[in-house]
Structures are given as structure tokens and as C-alpha cells.
Structure 1
Amino acid sequence: MRVERVVPDLTVTDLRSAVAEHSAVLGLRVLMDHGWIVTLGDEEGHQLSLITRDASAPVNPDVSVFVDDVTAAFARAEAAGLEIVHPLTDEPWGVTRFFYRDSDGRVINVGMHTDRE
């Protein structure tokens, strides 16, 4: 299993304002907008996600880690005895993912693109 991308996830109360603020200051543009999460980025691959409330999980993640084999990552999380907060799920927006909670209480979203929109 290989990590392909790591994206911080900031929980925000006003998505539109947060997008405007971070775009203005950081010069990032909208790469993805699902209405509840917006990912900003640049041409070099730097990304930042802003999220109000996750569409299918019980909690918002603190960070998203995209891998080339999410099933292997899930097996590793289970073998490590970590709390699985959101089960391995094929999401309707083309990502297979799961969430685990680390020992400091942070929620990590681990996923891979399974269908390009």
C-alpha cells in the first residue's frame, strides 16, 4: 500500500465564507464542491478541504489520506486495533473510504478514488 496524497480537513461553520477567505489568502481555487465539502488546490497539487458536516460518516475527519489500496489500509487499521469510526464504504461520489480514530482522538479518513466523476 502506498500513500498518494494527504489533505487537511478543516471543519467550518460557513462554507462559502471559508472558501472565500482561504482562496483570497492562499490563492487556491475550487477543485471539488459537493455542497458540504469543498477542496481547494493549486497546480502543484497542494490541497485543503473545508467541511461542514460529512455526508455519510458520524464525525468529520481531521485529515484525509488517499492511498492506492484502501482495503489493505483497512486491514492494517484493524490489525493495529484502532477504533473504526466509519466502516469501509463505497461512497456515491466515487470514493471508497473508512475512518479510524488515532490514540490522540484525531479522525483519519483513508480512501481511494474508485470512480472518476
Structure 2
Amino acid sequence: MDLVDAYPIIVTDKLGACRDFYAKWFGLEVIFESSWFVYLARQGARPWSIAFMAPEHPSAPPGPEPFSGHGVCLELQTADATAEFQKLSAAGAPIRYALTDEPFGQRRFGLFDPAGLWIDVVEQIEPAAGFWDKYMIGPAN
């Protein structure tokens, strides 16, 4: 498969609020917008995108019910979680999990978007000594 893009579509009735949230806090640009669908993306060396679709539109593919806020998180990996936390906090972003160094090897903070999607902003750091030992299965055969 020669992908051009890959992105989640969050089914929600909060299209405008989600559009504004990702544009304001994460610098995404609106690439396409209609009354039932919004597609946002960040261009450049590390592009990423996300879309939001109204639940009642007839073009919806089979299966996606409105997002309930459970079972999914969006990981945004950054080189400097501290700088991103300071920038977003100073600007008033609705941070729900303060910047924390986790023993499993991430510096992270988090917040919910208007659709209820958890956004985990992470930086990979060195895990606590021995943290992963009890979770490892062993060498590949």
C-alpha cells in the first residue's frame, strides 16, 4: 500500500469546537471543512492530521458510532514535553494531567479535546532502573 496519509476520524457533533481546539493548541490548519466534516493537518517535516465527522451524515462509513470518550488516546510524541507543557499552560490550555516523569520512561502531560479524546503529549526518557524487567517476555525465538 502506497499511503498518501493516514488519520483517525472522530465521529462527534462538536466539529467547530474540535476544529478550533486543534488549530489553537496544536497549530493544525483546516484543509477541508464542510457542514459535516473537518480535516486538519500540520504540514512540514513531521506532518500529521486528524478529522472530525458529524454522526448523522449519510456518507458515514458503516460502523463508526459517535465517539464516547473511551478506549482511545492520541499520543503526540515531542522532543521536549517540558517546553510544550510550559507553552500550552501559559496560554491557558485545559491541561488535565500535569507534567510528570513516569517510571516507565515518559515525561508527559495530558488533556481532553472537545469530543472527549484524551491527548497524551509525551517525550521518551530513560525508565527507572528495572522497571520493565517484570513485563518483558524474553528473547525472540
TM-score, length of structure 2 as denominator length: 0.38
RCO higher in structure (CA 8 A, sep ≥6): 1
Question: Which one has a larger percent strand, Structure 1 or Structure 2?
Answer: 1
